[in-house]
Amino acid sequence: MFQALAYGIISASGATIFQQLLLIVLGIEIFELNRLTPLLIFVAISEEIFKLIFIYQLGRRRGNFSDLFFSALFLGLGFSLMEISLKIWNSLEKGNFLWSDYLGVILLHILTAGIIGLFLERKWKPPVKILIGLTIASIIHLAYNALRIYLF
């Protein structure tokens, strides 16, 4: 489980670096989360892709994809802890830190990683299970982002 947690931290770091490089290439200095933009949609999907890559690697290292669900949950926890630590750092600099804002992030990343892990366990052909798991996880992630932006 420690390896899965570490993979989650690494995958969140990779996603963050990728997203920051994208913002630099696009010339965007301030990334506001006040509406659901194509860039925000791409960012959410890229996070799910990074989770998928590392959950898949966990299965490959074991030599099988059975019982991958629980490891995926720990990977999601590691991902959320890394993301939250970056958000806390940013919040402390701005002086607007609220613990209640972070519970949803934890639940979101554990849930979406668990879904990806659950589909990778299936005996289906790899492209099918990867595509379905990634699609469902991305839809949930986008729904969470939309709820945070438009309702909370």
Longest dimension (CA), the chain: 49
- Note the pLDDT of residue 17: 93
- Note the pLDDT of residue 128: 93
CB neighbours of residue 8 within 10 Å: 31
- Note the pLDDT of residue 46: 95
pLDDT digits 0-9 by tens, 128-145: 999 999 999 999 999 998
How many Å from the N-terminal Cα to the C-terminal Cα in the chain? 33
Tokens of 8: 């989650």
User: Which residue has tokens 């947690």?
Assistant: 5
- Note the pLDDT of residue 68: 92
- Note the pLDDT of residue 152: 72
Where do the structural domains in the chain lie, given as residue ranges?
A: 2-150
- Note the pLDDT of residue 3: 94
- Note the pLDDT of residue 121: 93
- Note the pLDDT of residue 97: 58
Q: Is residue 33 within 8 Å of 150, Cβ to Cβ? A: no
**Secondary structure element (H or E) that encloses residue 84, with its range:** helix 69-94
Q: Which residues of the chain have pLDDT under 50?
A: none
Residues 152 and 60: their CA atoms lie apart, in Å, by 39
- Note the pLDDT of residue 1: 84
